[in-house]
């Protein structure tokens, strides 16, 4: 009868306090579920260096190291080794830091003052399994994104050729009589292929932003909003419409092109979903505890209670407005951008009275 030998778990312990190091090592030495091999380093720079030259299954990481600030330590490890599970070791009574550790890339955290061998074993085991699942999902998402991007590119060029050909037929080969059946069919073909072209373009943009890493930079929302308003005025009739910027716009941290896309989507939607009344769109900013809430409010057709929870779903179109051109991507796209900035998007609306779209950006 053969005995299956359990795989050794290779652990990198990054801890500068010798007493805490010995405590953690004593707990690991008593792990009975599987064999564990530990290597110890005392500095963040040393830990990163040894990970580049060796193979490990998991990192036990103290955030309070002499050569790195707590908020920078985890980010440095998570950015450099995104596929490697990290368990944060803490003796700090800082709930915000522990909560942020998960969002910064840790799979778990252990309080050094209360950790036991059983808890240590469970944390190591589950952190590795959890990271394996996340890595698998990430690879699947990357493959799907690459596939959709390739398909969209392959479709885009032939579609443009079809649109161009139909326009040439309409202009040069068909009578100008609007009641001509063949002319109406060509017009239908132009409208359908134009819609499909717009859909492909938006899908390409959606896939691009979904997979794009970006560095946050100061963004002057005042200049950004004014730029969007100029573009909106160039594409929409403004005789009975106005866009007002109420109060001062802040400087926020983010990616300017992405945030511009959000503001453009929301203001453009106000023009698309308006009624016969003169349109008024108000852009405003409100300082909150941990950031800024940017709001874009209109007096348009509004959204029903049934549609309201679904408006940010990908491809969802508000009922009763099938005549308005659109793909159902824009709002979902905007929501994704804001969430990748660490914020959130919310909607308030009353049918027949108007809508207020707000997005929060952390300070």
- Pairwise pLDDT comparison (234 vs 77), residue with the higher score: 77
- Summarised one tens digit per residue, pLDDT across range 96-137 is 676 777 777 888 888 888 888 888 888 888 888 888 888 887
22: pLDDT strictly greater than 80: yes
| pLDDT of 202 strictly over 70 | no
The dihedral sign for the CA sequence 99, 100, 106, 109: negative
Query: What is each CA distance from 132 to 19, 218, 356, in whole angstroms?
Result: 32, 35, 41
Check pLDDT > 90 for residue 249: yes
Q: Domain 9-137 class?
A: alpha beta
Q: What is the mean pLDDT of residues 278-302?
A: 90
Position 2 scores a pLDDT of: 43
Intervals of CATH 3.40.50.2300 along the chain? 9-137
Q: Which residues pair with 293 in a beta bridge?
A: 286, 360
**CATH number belonging to the domain at 214-363, selected among 3.40.30.10, 3.30.565.10, 3.30.70.360, 3.40.50.720:** 3.30.565.10
Residue 323 pLDDT exceeds 60: no
Query: Which residues, including other chains, have CB under 8 Å from residue 242's CB and lie 6 or more apart?
Result: 278, 279, 280, 281
User: Which position has the higher pLDDT, 202 or 34?
Assistant: 34
Provide the mean pLDDT of the chain: 81
Could you tell me the end-to-end alpha-carbon distance of the chain, in angstroms, rounded to an integer?
A: 62
What's the confidence (pLDDT) of residue 95? Answer: 65
Q: Name the pTM for this structure.
A: 0.52
Confirm if 57 and 31 have CB atoms less than 8 A apart: no
- The residues of the chain that CATH labels 3.30.565.10 are 214-363
């Amino acid at each position: 009868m053969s005995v299956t030998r359990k795989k050794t778990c290779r652990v990198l312990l990054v801890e500068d306090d010798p007493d805490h190091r010995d405590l953690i090592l004593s707990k690991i030495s008593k792990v009975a579920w599987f064999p564990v091999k530990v290597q110890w380093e005392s500095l963040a720079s040393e830990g990163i260096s040894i990970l580049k030259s060796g193979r490990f299954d998991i990192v036990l990481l103290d955030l309070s190291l002499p050569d790195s600030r707590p908020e920078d330590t985890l980010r440095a490890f998570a950015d450099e080794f995104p596929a490697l599970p990290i368990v944060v070791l803490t003796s700090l009574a800082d709930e915000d830091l522990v909560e942020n550790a998960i969002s910064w890339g840790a799979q778990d955290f252990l309080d050094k003052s209360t950790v036991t061998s059983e808890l240590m074993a469970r944390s190591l085991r589950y952190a590795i399994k959890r990271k394996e699942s996340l890595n698998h999902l990430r690879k699947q998402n990357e493959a799907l994104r690459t596939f959709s991007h390739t398909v969209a590119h392959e479709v885009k060029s032939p579609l443009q050729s079809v649109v161009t050909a139909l326009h040439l037929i309409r202009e040069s080969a068909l009578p100008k009589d609007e009641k001509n059946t063949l002319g109406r069919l060509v017009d239908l073909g132009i409208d359908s292929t134009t819609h499909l072209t717009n859909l492909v373009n938006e899908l390409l943009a959606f896939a691009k932003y979904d997979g794009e890493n970006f560095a946050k930079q100061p963004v002057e929302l005042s200049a950004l909003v004014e730029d969007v308003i100029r573009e909106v005025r160039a594409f929409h009739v403004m005789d009975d419409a106005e866009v007002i910027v109420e109060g001062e716009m802040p400087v926020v941290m983010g990616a300017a092109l992405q945030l511009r896309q959000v503001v453009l989507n929301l203001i453009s939607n106000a023009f698309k979903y308006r009624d016969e009344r003169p349109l008024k769109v108000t852009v405003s900013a409100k300082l909150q505890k941990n950031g800024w809430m940017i709001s874009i409010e209109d007096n348009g057709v509004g959204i029903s209670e049934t549609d309201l929870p679904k408006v940010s779903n990908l491809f969802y179109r508000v009922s009763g407005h099938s005549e308005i051109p659109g793909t159902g991507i824009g709002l979902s796209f905007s929501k994704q951008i804001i969430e990748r900035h660490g914020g959130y998007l919310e909607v308030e609306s009353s049918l027949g009275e108007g809508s207020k779209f707000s997005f929060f950006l952390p300070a």
